[in-house]
Amino acid sequence: MAEQQRLLGGRYLLKEKVGTGGMATVFRAQDQVLNRAVAVKIMLPQYAGDPTFAARFKQEAQAAAALQSPYIVGVYDWGKDGDTYYIVMELLHGTDLKSGVRSHGALDPKKVAQIGSQICGALSIAHKHEIIHRDIKPQNIMVQPDGNIKVMDFGIARAKNSHLTQDNNVLGTAHYVSPEQTRGQELGPTSDIYSLGVVMYECATGRVPFDGDDAISVALKQVNELPVPPSQINANVDGDLERIILKCMEKDPANRFQTADELRQVLNSYLAGRAVDVPEPTRVIAGMAGAGGTEAMRMGDKTQTMVRPTAPGDTASNPVIRPNNQINTSSYDNEKHGMGKGKIAAIAIAIVAFVAIAIFAVSGFLNGGDQKSVPNLLGMGQEAAVASIKSSGFEPGNVNQSYNDQYSEGQVCEQTPDGGKTAAAGSKIDIVISKGPKPIDQVEVPDLSNASDLDEAKKIIENAGLTVGSTTQEANDADEGKIVDQSPKAGEKVDKGSKVDIVVSSGPETDSVPGVVGKTESDATNTLSNAGFSVNVESGGTSDTYAKGYVMKQSPTGTAKKGSTVTIYISEGKDTSSDEVDVDSLGLTGMTAEDAEEAIANAGLKYDPRQQSSSSVEVGNVIKYSPGGKQPAGTVIILYISTGPSE
């Protein structure tokens, strides 16, 4: 029988194949019980008979089923059908991150950070369950149509407390494995963080940090080489994101972020535009300087370190300091002879310097001898700048003020003419004094708790001059779709245009409510209490179906909030009101005894005649009767029959 026509476990009808991995094949299937589409992962036949792989496969299901996160693929069920092991999972729509990067190239830095933050959310849950993923790579990260991600395939993740943890083979893909994983050492959460750093590196640059002809050469580079800083590949990568990525990829696990939560907080701060306090990465591999590293080389007793290039206008905040004996390690080769790139560059610099000197000399000659070099005033205070102008043989000109992000308040940020140029002695030099960075308009963060849904919350944020950041869901007692948290908090003052992250309620956590209709009140109460629900007992009235004392109805059924109250309705038994007789309607008073007895018998009642004297009722007729009103069938009615006046 073809796999596509197979029914696994008497429940999951396999449809078409959607993918094949190293251990299993994945099918789209239909859950015949819950009538929903699912993904079913079936272990490949060559592994099904191997006890080690079978144990690992079952462990995958047990481990993954315990992980509940909006960023982890949900596992619904698992089992064995004959010789076939299978896992039933959430069916995802979208594309894997690897395909996305291949199609679109490098991603926007903010998108890279958002993806990294969501992966951290998945890893945080796994690590708290003592599960290391071991195979974080873009192929295992599904990008959904709404832009959010889900981490897939915990197939080689293994719980620390499992006997399988002693098997330290490198199971991950070489481009993303950590150095310690390559060495076969014990792995911890920081190994997943290293792999996540490689994923973010690839998203930010469009390429992996280390590549080679085979897996072994790539794995060796993970141990022995340093990555090229992402900004040297993609100039759009800013310094904060670069430091975050490179800290994740530190060779020594102790130098990385130590937990997924720690990394997520830093990424969220970066997304919110807040300051990110991450030190510059280590650029020398201990004992390996110059041995394959592209960023550092040891020469004599000094280590020459390449400094990240400073962006235009960033001179003050990120000065590039280069020692006199610094070299370009990427082109240095003491085995080559002749005129290398370094010598060519030196000659070019010498020619430029010679031409500049010649132009300066000719310019001074053509303009007469009364020319002076304009002093460089940038960064000076106003008084010091004026003094320098005068001492250089010039006159102070106009003094203006302007906002400037590069120079601190009170420093010269512009001058005319520029420093280093020549001008006539005694001419004026205009300066502009910095007022510091231009203030960013501050706005108050609105309160989103009263928004009816996510769309309204987004409008409120945008109307306040802010932008919508990440949106996540979490179980909460609030109604589904309500905003239950936000960052920054309502009322905080933030820069205009800052991002506001939103947490949306997915509704309260629910449990299945046991069905107790048909049980006795005692049994029903015990069943519901043991399931974690409170019980409220109400009368359900009469019932022709359920005997007295049995549950005839319950509310709610299906699922309900954990710990909520379930009301059970108890039957009062069958309705017997239709079997009752209205004695008064028989008109017994004044009847002859014979007629009264016949009327009572015809109504399904019984009679008991008794003699009593009466001066007003004719002999042989009914004086009175008891009881009256409505009486059940078979009730004895006492008839008092007149014997005439007493003597």
Q: How far is Cα 207 from Cα 201, in angstroms, rounded to an integer?
A: 8
pLDDT interval class at 346 (50, 70, 90): very low
pLDDT at residue 432 in the model: 94
- pLDDT for 500-533, tens place per residue? 999 998 887 788 999 999 999 999 999 999 999 9
Can you say how many angstroms the Cα of residue 590 is from the centroid of all Cα atoms in its chain? 89
- pLDDT for 197-220, tens place per residue? 999 999 999 999 999 988 889 999
Contact 376, 430 (CB under 8 A): no
Q: How far is Cα 312 from Cα 432, in angstroms, rounded to an integer?
A: 20
At residue 607, does pLDDT exceed 80?
yes
Tell me if 41 is assigned to a ligand binding site. yes
- Could you tell me which of 439, 378, 388, 441 has the C-alpha nearest to residue 410? 378
pLDDT at residue 22 in the model: 67
**Is the peptide bond prior to 556 cis by the omega test (within 30 degrees of 0)?**
yes
pLDDT at residue 285 in the model: 61
Neighbours of 265 (CB within 10 A): 14
At residue 575, does pLDDT exceed 60?
yes
pLDDT at residue 63 in the model: 72
Which residues are CB-neighbours of 441 under 8 A, at least 6 positions away? 465, 495, 496
- Comparing 470 with 352, the larger pLDDT belongs to 470
pLDDT at residue 539 in the model: 94
Which residues are CB-neighbours of 245 under 8 A, at least 6 positions away? 197, 200, 201, 204, 230
From its phi and psi, is residue 541 left (phi > 0), alpha (psi between -120 and 50) or beta?
A: left
Least confident segment among 228-232, 380-384, 473-477, 611-615:
473-477
**Is the peptide bond prior to 488 cis by the omega test (within 30 degrees of 0)?**
yes
Q: Average of pLDDT values for 541-566?
A: 90
- Comparing 456 with 299, the larger pLDDT belongs to 456
pLDDT at residue 94 in the model: 86
- Could you tell me which of 438, 394, 392 has the C-alpha nearest to residue 413? 438
Second-level CATH architecture of 442-505: 2-Layer Sandwich (3.30)
Domain map of the chain by residue range? 3-89, 95-305, 442-505, 510-571, 579-642
Q: DSSP H helical segments within 82-167, as ranges?
A: 97-104, 109-128
At residue 353, does pLDDT exceed 70?
no
According to CATH, what is the number of the domain 510-571?
Answer: 3.30.10.20
pLDDT at residue 84 in the model: 86
By DSSP bridging, strand 580-582 and strand 630-632 are antiparallel
Q: How far is Cα 196 from Cα 133, in angstroms, rounded to an integer?
A: 11
pLDDT at residue 347 in the model: 39
Mean pLDDT estimate for the chain: 81
Least confident segment among 4-13, 47-56, 101-110, 270-279:
47-56
Tokens of 577: 């009101």
Q: How far is Cα 33 from Cα 10, in angstroms, rounded to an integer?
A: 10
pLDDT at residue 362 in the model: 38
- Could you tell me which of 280, 96, 279, 120 has the C-alpha nearest to residue 196? 120
pLDDT interval class at 81 (50, 70, 90): confident
- pLDDT for 131-168, tens place per residue? 899 889 999 999 998 889 999 876 544 533 343 333 33
> Domain 579-642 classified CATH 3.30.10.20?
yes
Q: How far is Cα 92 from Cα 103, in angstroms, rounded to an integer?
A: 20
E strand or H helix that includes residue 389:
helix 382-391
- Give the number of C-alpha atoms closer than 13 A to the C-alpha of residue 92, restricted to the C-beta side: 26
Contact 560, 530 (CB under 8 A): no
Q: How far is Cα 93 from Cα 166, in angstroms, rounded to an integer?
A: 36
- Comparing 418 with 53, the larger pLDDT belongs to 418
Contact 39, 27 (CB under 8 A): yes
Least confident segment among 281-290, 480-489, 534-543:
281-290
- Could you tell me which of 116, 135, 119, 152 has the C-alpha nearest to residue 39? 152
At residue 227, does pLDDT exceed 80?
yes
**pTM (global) more than 0.85:** no
At residue 326, does pLDDT exceed 70?
no
According to CATH, what is the number of the domain 3-89?
Answer: 3.30.200.20
Does 510-571 match 579-642 in CATH topology? yes
- pLDDT for 22-50, tens place per residue? 678 899 999 998 889 999 988 887 777 77
pLDDT at residue 146 in the model: 83
Phi, psi for residue 272 in degrees, rounded to 5: -85, 0
Contact 181, 206 (CB under 8 A): no
Supply the DSSP string of 415-453, one letter for each residue.
EESPTT-EEETT-EEEEEEE--SPPPPEEEPPP-TT-SS
pLDDT interval class at 578 (50, 70, 90): low
Say whether 135 is catalytic.
yes
Active-site residue identified among 135, 153, 192, 240:
135
pLDDT at residue 305 in the model: 32
C-alpha distances out from residue 178 to 98, 100, 135, 174, 246, Å: 19, 23, 10, 9, 13
Domain spanning 95-305, CATH class: mainly alpha
pLDDT at residue 83 in the model: 82
At residue 310, does pLDDT exceed 60?
no
Q: Average of pLDDT values for 448-469?
A: 91
Q: How far is Cα 492 from Cα 99, in angstroms, rounded to an integer?
A: 40
- pLDDT for 404-413, tens place per residue? 877 888 999 9
